Copies of this chain bind each other. A is one copy, B any other.
Amino acid sequence: MIENVRLIEVKEEILSDNIKLAGELRERLRRAKTMLLNLMSSPGSGKTSLILRTIEGLKGSLRIGVIEADIDSTVDAEKVASRGIPAVQLRTGGFCHLDATMVAQGVDALPVGELDLVIIENVGNLVCPAEFDTGAHKNAMILSVPEGDDKPLKYPLMFSICDLLVVNKIDYLSLSDFDTAVLRERVLALNPRIRILEVSCKTGAGIEGWIDWLNGEAAAFRV
């Protein structure tokens, strides 16, 4: 067990400032009746694809906006905006995660009073985003089948802090030794309260479960 104590201390100070700001943002959005959802995953697991499916699936039920994080490009925000949805791109300039200050700046750039749901597409990373409270009311993550069913063993914090796990790319199951039962067992051992859904953003399979979950959770904010 090897530690670098100095860097840990720096991180802890930053983390405690962040928790306070995250709480303020969460409360402010609750008063505005807007649910904030933080969507996380590895690079290439399908965050943008799931958001595009979500825009389609929520048409007529929830008014949504999207905050896209990207280190150095604007391709995702352009894809979302092309569907007529308010979108903000946060260029993190090398940062590996979003914190509450960055998300608050994204929220300020959206017409929040007119939105029921704001989705944050976090930086593609299973490590750092799990450590920073963004101010979201709910955390969701995607794990894609080609990444393997051992990921809960290796990135336990991410699986522990999420309310929902979306297993994406189930259309790859036939080519893979990914074991869905083993995955469920590993995830539930870390986080017994987590909801697990299986989808394919490519074929559309299972997407209705995700849409139902979003509609149910967001409804609680509108009373």
A96 CB–B CB distance under 8 Å:
yes
**Would you call A91 an interface residue if the criterion is a C-beta within 8 Å of the partner chain's C-beta atoms?**
yes
Question: Given A42-B42, A43-B147, A146-B144, do A95 and B4 touch, yes or no (CB 8 Å)?
Answer: yes
Q: Mark A5-47, 1 if CB is under 8 A from B, else 0.
A: 0111010001000000000000000000000000000111000
Which residues of B are found within 8 Å of A133, using beta-carbon distances?
Answer: none
Instruction: Tell whether A213 is near chain B: CB-to-CB under 8 Å.
Output: no
Chain B residues contacting A73 (CB-CB under 8 Å) are 153-154
A128 within 8 A of B: yes
Report B-chain residues with C-beta under 8 Å of the C-beta of A1.
91, 93
Interchain CA distance A124-B155 in the complex, whole Å: 9
In Å, the complex CA distance between A110 and B43 comes to: 32
Q: Answer yes or no: A156 CB below 8 A from chain B CBs.
A: yes
Taken together as a complex, chains A and B put the C-alpha atoms of A147 and B169 apart, in Å, by 11
Q: How far is the CA of A42 from the CA of B73 in the complex (A)?
A: 18
Chain A 152-165 interface mask (CB, 8 Å, partner B; 1/0): 01111100000000
From B3, B71, B171, B175, contact of A93 by CB (8 A): B3
Chain B residues, CB < 8 A from A123: 127
Chain B residues contacting A157 (CB-CB under 8 Å) are 71, 94
